[in-house]
Amino acid sequence: MFSESFMAEPKPANLEIGQVLGGAFLAIGRNWLMFLALTLILVAAPLVATQLTLSQFPAKSSDLSQEFLILGRTFLVSAPQTFLFQPIFVALVAWMVWADADGVRVDPSSALRALASQLVWVLLAQLIVVVAEFIGTLLLIVPGIIATLALWVTIPACVVERLSAPAAISRSLGLTRGQRWRLLGLLLIVLVVAMFLGVILGLVSMMAGFSFAGIPGLVGIALRAAASALSQLLTTACVGSAYVALRAAKSGVGAGDVAAVFA
């Protein structure tokens, strides 16, 4: 009996939410300039461009064919943000958070090289994840939340471990298994913090003599983009930090563990 217990595999540790949040904030604090540049280029600027373009479209039309035309134009304008800029942002930030936690030198050139070698798989993984979340949301919301949590670290696994999109999805399913309630708690905390940041930004705008909901033109769009960009930076840093913590909790940092996901 002693030999059996001695030879048994250690029970995986649980994800520590405080550790994930701490890792995210530490990575941002130590590399804030690079994170700020990435956020401005890949999140804030595309958001402003998208909102400016959408503001030129009519809000609604009584003609059904015009409604479909407006929806089609809206999708075409919004698609690059969802399927190009967002996955690139997640991949770069997650790689930098992993590198910071792993003692690897964090610099833009290394992050870009890591992304370049995996760009096709990263974009394909994003497409699969978005479709899975959309289908899950259509099934009364809850399956969409489950899909989001199960696939949360797909892109970090893809770019850090240089996996194909299917392998990265399997890796994420394996890493998040048994930890999804904790990931849900983490996600709720991040959402609350993001809302708080939005409120602070709204108060700042009001102190400057504006109404946050009714600021006209470019100023209002820029403020809303800034609030959304800060939220996405925090969320993405937590995704990268959760990936690092899940690997440590599962004791699965090598190729053997990736293969075990398929078993």
Q: Is 140 left (phi over 0), alpha (psi -120 to 50) or beta?
A: left
199 phi/psi in degrees, rounded to 5: -65, -45
d(CA 150, CA 127): 15
Domain residue spans in the chain? Answer: 16-55+63-261
Whole-Å CA distances, 137 to 57, 132, 183, 223, 249: 27, 9, 18, 29, 29
Q: Where are the beta strands (DSSP E) in the chain?
A: none
CB-side exposure of 118: number of CA atoms within 13 Å?
Answer: 30
Return per-residue pLDDT of the chain as tens, 263 residues.
444 444 444 566 788 999 999 999 999 999 999 999 999 999 999 988 888 887 776 666 566 666 667 677 777 778 899 999 999 999 999 999 999 998 878 888 999 999 999 999 999 999 999 999 989 888 877 888 999 999 999 999 999 999 999 999 999 999 999 999 999 999 999 889 888 877 777 676 666 555 444 555 677 778 778 888 988 999 999 999 999 999 998 764 443 443 333 33
pLDDT at position 143 = 86
pTM of the predicted model, to two decimals? 0.84
pLDDT at position 57 = 67
Whole-Å CA distances, 112 to 108, 140, 219, 238: 6, 38, 32, 20
Assigned token pair, 54: 């959408």
Closest CA to 24 of 100, 119, 116: 100
Contact in structure between 202 and 196 (CB atoms under 8 Å): no
The number of helices, as runs of H, and strands, as runs of E, in the chain is 13, 0
pLDDT at position 64 = 62
pLDDT at position 63 = 62
pLDDT at position 15 = 87
